[in-house]
Amino acid sequence: MRLTRSTAAPPPLAGGNRSLRGSICTAILLALLLVLAGCGAEYPQSTINPHSDFAEIIHSLYVSIFWWTMLILAVVWVLLTYVVVKYRRKSEDEQPRQIRGHLGLEIGWTVGPALIVIAIAIPSIQAVFATQRPVSEDAMEVHVTGHQFWWEFHYPEQGITTANELWLPVDQPVNLRLHSNDVIHSFWVPKLGGKRDANPVPAVREGQDPKYNWLYFTPLQTGVFMGQCAEFCGQSHALMAMRVVVDTEEGFQDWVDRWFRSEGADFPTEAADFPSEGADSPSQALAEVAEYAAEYGNGAGDLDGSGVPVVATGNEVLPVQAASTHDDDPLVARGREVFLGSTCIACHAVQGTSAQGVIGPNLTLFGARHTLGAGIMENNRENLIRWIKDPMGMKAAVAMPGVDYPGGNWPATGLSDDEVEAIAVYLLSLK
């Protein structure tokens, strides 16, 4: 093809050409704006906004590799431009020098990339070791259990079991023991560190250590950090989110204190440590809970007929000292009564009450949770009422019964609208 410029008169639509050029310019400017807009925003699940030592290790690796690749890019572009300009076709009949094979070049472009890969591998492997370093003595241990489709957090030192929102004190090393109750899940809170699988851990013989995955990091800033299950685990995998609430040391201690104050009485925590140290299988746990519910559940824990709810702790029965924070609200008291008298307690626990189910999320301090249904929606009265009536309508395959249909091996709850509302008000008062 001849690339000489046409000397013919410009076509009548020259003006159209100029406007075409104009719109290309506008498009480029808009695209640039779009790219720049990405720089300022605060993304909730961003790896390049680290807030823990672990996340900083990953981030600095990422940034250094980024700048090295920019350098390589610059070198490649300079060479490419040089070659394109220097060796361009200068005349019609010019033939470039014909070369077949070049040992130096072959070695060069094999060794060069190999060196680059090695250069990337060294800091990457260092980062792997740095994020798996020995755990410091003062690290706080939390046992994380993935369930279809929610997260359980058990604090063995504090004797707390909560769900979907992990509370941590800032600047305190934490060592998470990850494990799954069913299929493989993956724990990922991008601003606090890399993802790590939560696997089902098979039972082991006496004296052997079960193979848990661990995640060790120190949160460096207070705030609420979003996370997500990062391993496809079933129908509602995409709806298996979580929050990590990093609080000051005092704030965290206050949360722990409120936990035990929430419903007054001390309560055994072993029951909630399912399944690692508790029952052998979900069905056995369910049977135990059902037995328990049959014995203590109906009648709102009013075991001695005095009208004061009582709690069974192991062998003794203790009166509940202070109920929830708004117990003077009649709707709260009514909700508490309905809740403790319903099948809810077969699966859910509230610290200091006869509810000590371990199949579903622990609902102690539920009113202090920001979200409902494993991080998928705001925790407010309206959403909670909808959830109790129709959990599967909001989240597919949830193992919880609704008002009109069974779920998780339990029959439909058949609660009236008033009862559902009272339960919602009660649960939201727990904070």
- Residues with Cβ < 8 Å from 62, sequence gap 6 or more? 47, 48
Closest contact distance (angstroms) between CB of 236 and Cu ion is: 8
* Region 321-350 residues binding ligand HEC, contact defined as CB under 6 A: 339, 342-344, 346-348
Q: How far is the CB of 215 from Cu ion (least distance, A)?
A: 15
Give residues 181-200 in contact with Cu ion (rule: CB under 5 A).
185
What stretch of H or E contains 145?
A: strand 140-147
Of 146, 159, 190, 361, which one interacts with ligand HEC (CB under 6 A)?
361
Which does residue 198 bind out of ligand HEC, Cu ion, none, counting CB within 5 to 8 angstroms by kind?
none
Q: Residue 384 class from Cβ within 10 Å (0-12 exposed, 13-18 middle, 19+ buried)? A: buried
Tell me which stretch binds Cu ion (CB under 5 A): 35-43, 223-231, 334-342, 348-356. 223-231
Q: Closest distance between ligand HEC and the C-beta of residue 318, in Å? A: 24
* 42-50, 196-204, 290-298, 371-379 -> range binding ligand HEC (CB under 6 A): 371-379
The piece of 230-238, 284-292, 340-348, 384-392 that touches Cu ion (CB under 5 A) is: 230-238
Please report whether residue 400 would count as binding ligand HEC according to CB under 6 A: yes
Q: Closer CB to Cu ion, residue 166 or residue 415? A: 166
Distance CA 149, CA 242 (A): 10
Q: Which two tokens stand for residue 232?
A: 């496809």
Which amino acid appears at position 235 of this protein? Answer: Q
Which H or E run includes 248?
Answer: none
Rounded to whole angstroms, the Cα distance separating 198 from 414 reads 35
Two tokens, residue 79: 């060479």
The closest of 198, 250, 185 to 222, measured between CA atoms, is 250
Read off φ and ψ for residue 416, nearest 5 degrees: -80, 165
Single residue of 388, 422, 428, 430 touching ligand HEC by CB under 6 A: 388
Residues in a beta bridge with 215: 176
Smallest gap from Cβ 44 to ligand HEC, in A, equals 18
Beta pairing, strands 377-378 & 371-372? antiparallel
Return the range that interacts with ligand HEC (CB under 6 A); candidates 67-75, 104-112, 182-190, 396-404: 396-404
C-beta of 160 vs 240, nearer to Cu ion: 240
Rule CB under 6 A: which of 156-185 touch ligand HEC?
A: 163-164
- Residue 229 near which of ligand HEC, Cu ion, none (CB within 5-8 Å, type-dependent): Cu ion
Q: What are the angstrom distances between the C-alpha of 276 and each of 7, 163, 253, 382?
A: 84, 16, 26, 35
Dihedrals phi, psi of 91, to nearest 5 degrees: -145, 165
Q: Which whole-number Å values give the CA distances from 215 to 133, 176, 307, in the listed order?
A: 10, 5, 47
Q: Minimum CB separation from Cu ion for residue 344, in Å? A: 24
Residue selected from 156, 238, 410, 431 as contacting ligand HEC according to rule CB under 6 A: 410
Q: How far is the CB of 376 from Cu ion (least distance, A)?
A: 13
Our finding on whether 359 is near ligand HEC (CB under 6 A) is yes
User: Total residues at the site for ligand HEC (CB under 6 A)?
Assistant: 33
Angle, CA 364 vertex, CA 193 and CA 383 arms, to 5°: 80
Stretch that binds ligand HEC, among 23-31, 217-225, 291-299, 393-401 (CB under 6 A): 393-401
Query: Binding of ligand HEC at residue 401 (CB under 6 A)?
Result: yes
Is 233 an interacting residue with respect to Cu ion (CB under 5 A)?
yes
369: contact with Cu ion by CB under 5 A: no
- Quick one: tokens of 148? 């279809």
Sign of the Cα pseudo-torsion (344, 346, 350, 352, in order): positive
Using alpha carbons, list the distances in angstroms from residue 15 to 19, 23, 27, 28, 29.
Answer: 6, 13, 18, 20, 21
Residues that bind ligand HEC (CB under 6 A): 149-150, 163-164, 339, 342-344, 346-348, 359-361, 363, 369, 372-374, 387-388, 395, 398-401, 407-408, 410, 413, 415, 423, 427
Which residues of this protein are in contact with Cu ion, per CB under 5 A? Answer: 185, 229, 233, 240
